[in-house]
Structure formats: C-alpha cells, structure tokens
Structure 1
Amino acid sequence: MDQDYPAILHPIATLEGHGDRAWHVAWNPVKPLLASCSADKTVRMYAYTPSTSKFSHISTIPTGHAKTVRAVAWSPSGATLATASFDSNIGVWAQEDAEDGDSDGEGVLNPTSEWECMSLLEGHETECKSVAYSPSGNLLASCSRDKTVWVWEVHPDHDFECMGVLMEHTQDVKCVTWHPTEEILASASYDDTIKLYIDDPQEDWYCFQTLSGHASTVWSLAFSPDGRFLASASDDGTIRFWERVQEHKWECVEILEAHERRIGSISWGKGKPLNAGEESLGWLASAGDEGAINIWKIGVVPSEKDPSRKAITHTLIAKCVQPHDIHDVNTVAWCPRVGLEDLLATASDDGVVKVWKVAPS
C-alpha cells in the first residue's frame, strides 16, 4: 500500500470459500448482507455487524446455474437477489419466510433460512454479463454477449414480464446500470459505446442517445450519487465523465487517465469527508489490470470555458497496489448503507472477496 495519499485502504475482512474466480459482489441496501458470485456457480452470503465490521459466512446458494454466475444484484427492498449467468439465464432468489426490509440493522432476518429460486428468466441466447434493478424496484435490466439488453417488469409473487429487447449494440454488452432516481438505463459494450434508454409511454423502450469517445471496450458504468453525471471505464485506460446538460442529452466533460491498462470495474459512492466541512460528489473506486485500486474524490468547480457550467475535478486520495496479490480484481463496490459509505468490497480471480475501509492516512 502507498501511504503518500491523504487516505489508505485498510483491509478489514478476507472472505474465502469460492472454488473458482469470484466475479462480482453486491451489498444489500437495507440489511447487513454481502453477496458474492463465482465461476464455481455459487453465491455466498455474508452477514456483518455494522458496529464492529465483523463478517461471517452464513449460507451458500448452489444456484443450479449450468455455468459461471457472472453478476448479482439486490432489489431496493433488499428482499430479492438476481443472478446473471453464462448459461444465458437469470435467477431470482428470496427467502420464503422473509419479510421485506425486516431487519434491526445489526442482525439478519432468518440467517439460516434457505434461499429459494422464485423465478428463472429465459430469453438471452448466450452469456448474461450483468443485471440491475431500477431504483423503484419495478424493473430489472439484463445484458448479454448476444448484443441485447432486456428490460423486465417486476410483478407480484416474483412474476416478470419482458417489456423490451433492445438491440442497439453491435457487440457483446458488458454492463447495465440504472440512474439512481429515474428510470434511465445505461449499457456499455465491446463496441466501445454507451447507450442510454428510456421508456416511451406511447410505445416501447428506446435508445435516446449513444455516447461515443472511448477507444476500446467499455467495461463498467457508474452514475454519480446525485445522478448528474455518468462515469464510464474502458479498455483504453480512461474514465470518461458525462454530464446531463439537457433532459435527454449527456456530454463528455472530463477524461481521466486513470490506469495504465484496462479498467474492469468502477463504483461511485457517497464517501465520507476526510476533513471537516469538505464537500464532494463522492468517491469513485476503479480497478485496473496493472494490479491497483484507485480511490478518487470527485468534485465540481465553475468551468473556465463557461462559468455557467461546472467542470469535474478528481483527486487521487488512496491507492492500493496488488490488493489481491498477483490476481486481477474483477469488481469494486461501495457499501450504500448510511454510515458505512467508507466500506469497499472487491472480488478477484483468486476466488477471494475482500472488504476494505477507507481511513485517513
């Protein structure tokens, strides 16, 4: 670890158990749970105590997927978990005897209760790469190597209806993510572009803008916590920041030379002030193939070209070299829960999930 920065990434938990590479992690938004998925086709569930940050494995979901589980996503209620698999299917999981949001914040409801597959969503022709719930929880998005993005409407009793099959990309779609407060969907692809979609009340879901500029595959996307900006990470080693300048128009306002090689994952969280009175747009975590995690404090200042507009600022506040030794980091993910915004989880090719705390150096 390099301590020439105002903060350090302090490891607080090393969670072993997957029998193959760990691809993705997801923090439950309301309960003290962390889920991880792997090429071993399982999902491992960890409980933690917020006051002490102690993590413990409480269950393993075999999933029944025939191939790698590539991504996981919690519903906003925290009651349902979606799994995206290379077998082209999406599983929807819940505890049959659990109630939405029933948690005291420290304990986990029915920690020994089994997770059941409530729905299996079929339709993609090949590997599913990403899955995400909308902020309302009424929609689920998925994407695949088959070049499509699907939007599913969530009905009672874990019933799902396909509302749109979006075929805008010309290559493998790597990632889908939702705006934090609106039903705006973004997707990233091997075709080097980002697509933005909305629902037309009179017709169907459609792409209202294509964001171009990256020189290679776009691997990961993250909206700012306030929804004003979108960050995109690419094989070209850069992170681009796109600002919403009109209701249906986004423009690139900053290019960050963030890593020497491919950036496989980014996550944009609220973060915590390192100094009293400090303000920012949050913290952006990025993981690069050269074997480093960077933590950036993101801010805005008046633009020199147009004082009526804002310009993005980025300050590298922490850097961790070889967080998983020689192994690639596949995912970085900030904890979204209030008071825990300084916790970061990572998943790696070594099959290990680690939890880190950002602390002043």
Structure 2
Amino acid sequence: MLCCVNPDCQKPLNPDKNKYCHNCRAELIPLLGGRYRPTQVLSDEGGFGRTYLAKDVHKLNECCVVKQFAPKLQGTGPLTKAIELFKQEASRLQELGEHPQIPTLLAYFEQNSYLFLVQQFIDGQNLLKEWETRGNYNETEIRELLLDLLPVLKFIHVRGVIHRDIKPQNIIRRQSDGRLVLIDFGASKNLTATVQTKMGTVIGSHGYTPLEQMQDGRAYPTSDLFSLGATCFHLLTGVRPSQLWIQQGYGWVASWRQYLNSSGKNGVSVSIELGEVLDKLLQLDIQKRYQSADEVITDLTLRLPPLSSVPPTILTPTFTSTSANTASVSPKPNNNLKSQLLLGSSILALGLGGVWYFQTRPHTMSEYSPTISNSRPTIQPKKNIPENSFVPKPLKGHSSDVNSVAFSSDGTTLGSASDDKTIKLWNLASNQEIHTLEGHSNWIWAVAFSPDNKTLASGSADKTIKLWNVETGKLVRTLEGHTDGVTSVAFSLDGKTLASGSASKDKTIKLWNLETGKLIRTLEGHTNGVASVAFSPDSKTLASGSWDKKIQLWNLQTGNSIRSLEGNAGTILSVAFAPDGLTLASGSADKIIKLWNPVTGKLIHTLKGHNDKVNSVAFLRNSTSNDVTLVSGSSDKTIKLWNPVTAKQIRTLETGSGYIYAVAISPDGQTIAGGGSGENILKIWQTIQ
C-alpha cells in the first residue's frame, strides 16, 4: 500500500498501482526524497502534518518514520522562514539523535511544499499500549522508569531542547534491550509552536501539560518534569490525567493519591519517599517543582532504598574503581542502577568524564603501613598546584554516560566504557581515539586492562564479559555464566585470572581462566549484588564490596571466605588494596571511606569529608618514590586526596558539574581520571608545568 501525503486526506491509504489518491485525488508520491515509501499513517496532527511509517528502498526496505510538516502559511516570506526554522531544528534533532534513547535523524528535505524529516524506526511498544496489556506499574517499575528517562531529559535540556509532550504514548520500550526511548519531539514540534503561537495554540497534551505551558505557551526543563510525573501517575493508577483535566482542571494534582487504589487494574500503593518525589514533580507552582533532572535523580537515590535488582532499562550509574587492573560498579545516583552500581578501581574510573593531571608527593608505604604507629611523619604535597593550572580537554566520541575508564599499565592508553554500548581506546599523548570496540548488547559497566596491556576486559548489563585485543580492537572471547549484569572486572597480577562480580539477581563472583576462557570457580556468600572486586597485590586474596553493606575477603586457593568486614551504614560501592596489601580502602553510599587491615580485619581509619556517596576509591603511588596517596570520587561532584596515615584531606578537586562515579590513576601517579556524568561525558585535565 501507498499513503497519500495530503495532510487533509481522510482516507490516505491507496493501492500500489494508483497514481492519484482514490479519496482526495491528490497526486501520489511513490518515494519521498527519492527513497522513502510511505506505507501507513502513524499519527495525525490535524491537518498540520502527519507521521508515517515508511520503507527505505535504498536499504532493503528497512522501516523508518517520516514526519511531515505542512504549515498553512500565506506568502513566500513566512514559508521561507518556516523552512529556515525547520532546517535549524532538524540540525538540533540530529545532535539529539546521538543519544541511544532518542531516534536517530536520517534525513530532512522539502518536497511539494511540504517539509519532511526521517527518523529511525524504534521496534517496540509505547507505554500506553504496554499498560493496556499488563496493567498498573508497581513502585519498583516506576522508579526504574524514572531512572531510565531522567538522564535522557538531562541530555536534551543541557542542549536547550524542551520536549513539551511527554506522555506514555511518546515513550517506547525498545524490544531489543528493554530500554525506554523518548520519541516525538524536535523539529516539527518546535516549528508548530513557532507558527501557531499567534493563534494561541499550545503544544502538549491536556492533563500532562503543566500550567505555565498551558496558560502562556512557555516551557522549561521543569515543565517536562511535570509531564513525567503525570505519566508516572497514569501508569501507577490507570487513570488518565487527560480525563481528570476535563473534569476538574488541575484540581487532581493535589489529591492524586486518592486514585492509587481506585483503578480496576491492579491498584497499587507507593512508599512515602516515592510519594514525596511525585508530589514535587506534580507541583503546579513552577518554583516549588524540581528544577532539573539531576535533582530528581538525587532524591530517588538518596531518599529511597536501593532497588533490589538491576533494572533492565537503567543506568546513569554511580561507579567506582579499585586497583590498576580492576573495575567495579556503584549506583549512580541511581543514576539508574545505574542507580545501583558503582564501579571501583584505582587505575580505573567510571563515568563522569574527567581526567585530572596533577603532581603531588604521595606517601611512602613504610609511613602508611598499619603495623607502624609511632614514627609516621606528617606528609605534605610535593608542591602545591594552583587550581587554575588544570586545563580541561574534552574527549568527544561517546553519545551517553561513560560508566568506566581505565589506564593501561604503561600509562599510554585510556579505555572508556559507556551506556552507548561501546568502549573507546584513547591515545593519551594525542588525546585521539584509537579504536571503538562494539559487541555488547547493553550498557557496559566495567573495563580493565590486563597487566601486559594486550587484553581489555569489559563487563556489561548484557550478563557477559568480553575480552578484546587492545592492539587490533578485535573481540577475542566472550565469557558467559552470570545470570545478571556484570558490574565489575579485575585481573590478577599475573594476568592469568579474571574476577567478575554481578548484580542483585546473581550475587556471585566468578573466577575465570583467561588462557582457556573456562570458569575456575564461583564465590558465593553475599546476600545482594557485588559492586566491586579487587585482587590483593600477591593475588592470593580477593576483596569484594556489596550492596549488602559488607566486604568479603576470599582465599583464592580454596574459594572460601576468610572474613567479613562490617560497619558501613550504606552500600559498599568500591574497594581497593594499597600497593603493599596491608590496607584495604572502601567507599560507601553512607558518604564515608574506611581503611581496614585485611590481615586482622580491624578498622584503621574512618575518613569523613564527602557530603554524598563515595563511589570510588583508589591508591595513588609514585612510581619512583613508592609514595602513596588515597583518592576518592563522590556524587558530591568532587575528588578528594587524602593522607592515609593521618586521615587528613590534602586537596579537593572541584569538577564543577556532574557526579564522580569513579576515579582512576595512571601507573606513574601523575594522572587522575574521574568518571561519571556531566556536560562533557569524558574530559581530561592536564597540569601546566
């Protein structure tokens, strides 16, 4: 069948043989833009344009979506202006389409006095249809939804785009991976708003659209947040906000809880904490509402308990790292399980994008060893580097959050892993991308280099570990066996064994023989997901930090637990051994760092100074002097350097924006990498010498 693209046609579907529409008699256009064949109307904008399902004849009839913009304007001046705006907005949409949860822009063009925009087709079901099939969502599912979509809203808001029509129909759960994709925004909507403003037409949907947008036609980032709250209300209760709006305007917003158990489909209740989040999302007063997606993510992470399992749709994570060859995951301010995972490693880092270059005198291990208590000298930095000596350089390439970064053991290469399902290898001398590694089918939560720099290991939400050839960028082997996402990976010092930790449905650690790819043994004992794993320097002991708030030490010869270290009030997000193996550092969601003697199990120090989750801890060792400093990264958007002997802060690095999900340190001790979220997904700071 072939669709008539006259937006006023009441029966646009025609047999393939027709040259003119059987209904409106308009001439049919077999191929839009010379390649896109419209076959079905997906939505109608009431004569202002339509959205069509189409086939790309240049790509074996691959499905795509064609959006038509048909402004009814008099004169060439207004039409020329509309075309100019269309091109500007199409360019903006092209930028947004770099995000994996926003459809990719394929083309835009003018034809027969209409403007067309072609986007990627998302194979999946929108949330309204999903609700109609399965009934009301529960609290966990609403939290997962929020934590999956809020990072997408942050992405578009940072780029100056307001969606203006968020509702269940405009959110699709992608069939391939279960992630939520935000659709139906961009060029046509912005143009519609521009052209129709004089007519008093408001873009949005009654009930989902906030007061300021309905009254004044003005929309802000917080306007999208109201619409997201209304969407959650709909999916929780089964009551359409549009119906309530017709009956009582915005009167339902203040008393939304009364509808929780009134639905005929699986009435549900919500916790006080989630109720308060929804209250703030649904505030009519724009000043009392959440002002940014980050604010909502923070409340979801800090005020609500961790999700019991890794959601299939999330992760704007909080991650941590542990030794030069380890990677582990920590919960991004839920930042989606990403809300639940934190990656940890000293040479490895997670997601925000940041690398800080600095020089300092760390501390000798003789000074730091817990067996020496009376002769520890006061440690001072080698020299004070003024804050303005850090020159940031963004590394452009990833299209979504970077969840893990790691240095090669020779310090020449940086590896970064992202929600966009890719790993990138960077030449640190030139800051240029070397390889893009593709193969995982879901977010990548952890990466680590082998000691000989020949192999990179990656752990993913797709439940697999992949081993890559660093020189060629080719996939060497895939390790399968975990029943949930792989949150952390770490190499033994001899490079023969890989340890991997997994999320809540699995709760185990697996040890792999890297020569054969075979499983050596599975370590069981944690009662929740394992966020971080780290080998001791002699590779005889493995430390694991878990969402069960405990650290386990394992004998790698027997596979038995040696002891459990307890005392944190929050999830253990990162663990790291000091280079001499006599001290173990842990970072926790309770904002505290603890230093332990792994031999005796005794607590050495408690370090306080961060005002949010400590997502990553790592030891910095100077390669020439053997000195050591402790480095920590936090959701409070700072990296702190500590004297591990005195437990005093040496310096705080203010990053300006974005949570720090992990820290990593180069082997020579001259470079710190910080990972997480922010305006620049991956960035480096280098000291001016």
CA-to-aligned-CA distance 1:81-119 (integer Å, 9 cap, x gap) = 000000000000115xx5xxxxxxxxxxxxxxx311111
Partner in structure 1 of residue 574 of structure 2: 220
Q: Cα distance, 1:271 vs. partner? A: 4.0
Which residue in the other structure is 2:414 paired with? 34
Structure 1 residues 218, 117: CA separation in 2 closer, same or farther (over 3 Å shift)?
same
**1:294 deviation in Å?**
0.8
| Contact 1:176-1:188 within 8 A present in 2 as well | yes
Q: Out of 275, 282, 285, which is 2:631 matched to?
A: 285
- Tell me the equivalent position of 1:306: none
Q: Using CA pairs below 8 Å that are at least 6 residues apart, which structure has the higher relative contact order?
A: 1
Q: Give the direction of change, closer, same or farther, for the CA distance of 1:11–1:175 in structure 2 (3 Å limit).
A: farther
Counterpart residue number, 2:610: 259
Partner SS for 2:644:
strand
**Residue number in structure 2 paired with 1:13:** 393
Q: 1:327 aligns with which of 652, 658, 664?
A: 658
Q: Which residue of 2 aligns with 1:355?
A: 684
For 2:482 and 2:665, how far apart are their aligned partners in 1?
29
Distance 2:474 2:512 in 1: 20
Conservation of the 8 A alpha-carbon contact between 1:343 and 1:358:
no
Q: What are the residue-to-residue correspondences of 1:45-124 with 2, within 5 Å?
A: 45-49=425-429, 54-62=430-438, 64-95=439-470, 114-124=472-482
CA shift, 1:272, in A, is 7.9
Following TM superposition, by how much is the alpha carbon of 1:13 offset from its aligned partner in structure 2, in angstroms?
3.3
1:169 to 510, 514, 526: 526
1:250 to 582, 601, 605: 601
Gaps of 5+ in 1: 99-113, 274-278, 300-312
Write the deviation string for residues 61-85 of structure 1: whole angstroms up to 9, x where unpaired: 12x1110010101111110000000
| Bigger Rg over Cα | 2
2: CA distance between counterparts of 1:354 and 1:284? 21
Q: Give the Cα separation in 2 of the matches to 1:197 and 1:124.
A: 19
What is the rounded CA distance, in whole Å, between the counterparts of 1:190 and 1:230 in structure 2? Answer: 18
Quote the Cα distance in structure 2 between the aligned partners of 1:55 and 1:132: 25
1:303 matched residue in structure 2: none
The Cα shift of 1:281 comes to 5.1
Contact 1:12 1:356 in 2 (8 A): yes
Q: Which of 124, 135, 138 in structure 1 is aligned with 2:496? A: 138
Counterpart CA distance in 2 for 1:291 and 1:239 is 16
| Partner secondary structure for residue 548 of structure 2 | coil
Q: 1:252 to 1:8 in 2, by over 3 A?
A: farther
Structure showing the higher strand proportion among its residues: 1
What is the CA–CA distance in structure 1 between the aligned matches of 2:554 and 2:451, rounded to whole Å?
A: 20
Q: CA deviation at 1:343?
A: 0.5
Give secondary structure in 1 for the equivalent of 2:581. Answer: coil
Query: Given the superposition, is the C-alpha separation of residues 281 and 216 from structure 1 closer, same or farther in structure 2, using an over 3 Å criterion?
Result: farther
Q: Which runs of 5+ in 2 are unaligned?
A: 1-355, 357-380
Greater helix share, structure number: 2
User: Structure 1 segments of 4 or more deviating over 3 A?
Assistant: 5-9, 356-360
2:540 match: 183
Name the counterpart of 1:101.
Answer: none
Pairwise CA distance, 1:31? 5.5
Equivalent residue for 2:588, pick from 230, 234, 255: 234
CA drift at 1:315: 3.0
Q: Who is 2:41 aligned against?
A: none
Distance 1:31 1:296, change over 3 A: closer
Aligned twin of 2:643: 297
The answer for the alignment partner of 2:117 in structure 1 is none
Structure 2 SS opposite 1:160: coil
- Amino acid across the alignment from 2:412: P
**What is the CA distance between 1:354 and its match in structure 2?**
2.5
